[in-house]
Amino acid sequence: MNIHDLSGSSEAKIRYLDGDYRVIKAGSFVRCAQTGKPIPIEELKYWSVARQEAYIDVLAAVKAEQEAQE
């Protein structure tokens, strides 16, 4: 699935855990906390347990961590 396949899909609600996550509300994607772009659930690799946020890639995750340290 790619981002263009997500039109009409629903956003999932997820509880982010260490090395895993739990789906609270079913859906096909979550949104990146840095960019707002949709992330298909099967492509979700980066998140913050402390902030309960998902990130589209490692750069977005690092940026969020840097901002949290400021």
What predicted TM-score, i.e. pTM, was given to this entire model? 0.85
- 3-class DSSP state for residue 58? helix
Pair 41, 29: CB distance under 8 Å: yes
The pLDDT value recorded for residue 70 is 86
| Beta-bridge partners for 20 | 17
Element (H, E) at 42: none
Alpha-carbon span 59 to 1, nearest angstrom = 21
**Mean pLDDT for back-to-back runs of 10 residues, the chain (70 residues):** 61 97 97 98 97 98 94
What is the distance of C-alpha 56 from the center of its chain? 6
Q: Which amino acid is at 59?
A: L
Pair 60, 29: CB distance under 8 Å: no
